[in-house]
Amino acid sequence: MENIQTLYVLDVETSGFYPYKGDVILEISIYQLNCKTYQYKKVFDTVIRQEITDKIKNCWLVEQGYITIEEIERGMDQEKAKKKIHELLQGNDWTSFHIDFDYSFLKSILPTLTDPAFCLMKKMTNITRIPKRTYGYSSSFNDSFKWPSLLEAYNYLYPDALEEKHRSDYDTELATKIAIKLLQFNLFTQAISISITKNVDIKLTYHDKNNKQYDIIVKPKKLIRGSTILEAYNYHKEKDQAYNLTRIINFKELSTPYQTLKERN
């Protein structure tokens, strides 16, 4: 992830689960993310025109009112949509929250499309660590935890708990914000590992689960829980504490040990 400069993040809404059974893409959104500045923008967002069959009329998204038949009838021409998707993704780094699902539909219309860079959902599995016995699907590469849903992943990372809207633009923005946290997580994990090896104190800008933000100076000891948690000595509270790496906002090594600074003051 650290070598990616620009990442395209997408989400599709479909008429069903299986493109090989005739299910189709009804809506797609694509965001462009600068992986260095974390700035992002929407570059494509459209409903795709489809023949209005009984399968379309009876699909869950239409039945629940998330997408209307009128929107589908007014949607972008399929060939024009395919051309734009190919233009944005081909040869570039791209991802989605549930790659296996989204990629299967994209491959059904663009067989030679560039493979995705990674799967957001699978990368979040070892961070959210939801026991698979809770409900849902478990990961094939980690039998201990289930794959988180989009909202489970987002609500783990951000304090503003949201509800699902089943529209691609909304879901793509959530997925993009998850990608930002994963990029930061990857960066902080590497940097803190080096600080542990160097045995230096660090200053963290951190937000707790209630979104309260504060600065703390700690002596990092080790990364635990699949390198998702930092165990460190908190100088202010004079005890060991655990810090969730996904809640770190900023990180800085101290050139002078904290105790030396304290003695000087």
* Helices of type H across the chain: 54-57, 60-63, 69-73, 78-89, 99-109, 120-128, 150-157, 168-198, 258-264
Per residue in 158-196, pLDDT (tens digit) is 877 677 788 999 999 999 999 999 999 999 999 999 999
Query: How far apart are the C-alpha atoms of 258 and 94, rounded to whole Å?
Result: 42
Considering all CA atoms of the chain, what is the largest pairwise distance in Å, rounded to the nearest integer? 77
Query: φ and ψ at 72, to 5 degrees?
Result: -65, -40
Strands 202-207 and 213-224: antiparallel
Per-residue exposure over 159-190, b if at least 16 CB sit within 10 Å of its own CB, e if not: eeeeeeeebbbbbbbbbbbbbbbbbbbebbbe
Query: How far apart are the C-alpha atoms of 34 and 220, rounded to whole Å?
Result: 30
**Angle formed by the axes of helices 99-109 and 120-128, nearest 10°:** 180
Asked whether the whole model's pTM tops 0.85, one would answer yes
Number of neighbours of residue 15 by Cβ within 10 angstroms: 24
pLDDT at 163: 78
Angle made by CA atoms 141, 144, 145, in degrees to the nearest 5:
80
C-alpha distances in angstroms, 161 versus 19, 44, 206?
32, 26, 19
Range of lowest pLDDT (74-78, 101-105, 164-168, 219-223): 164-168
Range of lowest pLDDT (33-37, 163-167, 221-225): 163-167
Range of lowest pLDDT (155-169, 206-220, 249-263): 155-169
Q: Two tokens at 153? A: 């992943």
Residue 136 pLDDT level (bands cut at 50, 70, 90): low
Percent of the chain predicted with pLDDT > 70: 95
Q: Strand 40-47's sheet: what is its strand order?
A: 40-47, 25-34, 6-14, 94-96, 118-119
Question: For residue 10, what are the β-bridge partners?
Answer: 30, 96
182, amino acid identity: L
Question: With 50 as the cut, is the pLDDT of residue 263 above it?
Answer: yes
Once rounded to an integer, what is the mean pLDDT over residues 111-128?
95
Once rounded to an integer, what is the mean pLDDT over residues 9-13?
97
Residue 139 pLDDT level (bands cut at 50, 70, 90): very low
Once rounded to an integer, what is the mean pLDDT over residues 191-206?
95
Catalogue all structural domains in the chain, each as residue range(s) with its CATH number. 6-187 (3.30.420.10), 199-264 (2.30.30)
Once rounded to an integer, what is the mean pLDDT over residues 233-250?
94
Range of lowest pLDDT (92-96, 109-113, 240-244, 255-259): 255-259
HSE, side-chain direction, 13 A CA sphere, residue 6: 11
Query: How far apart are the C-alpha atoms of 10 and 169, rounded to whole Å?
Result: 8
**C-beta of residue 10 within 8 angstroms of C-beta of residue 192:** no
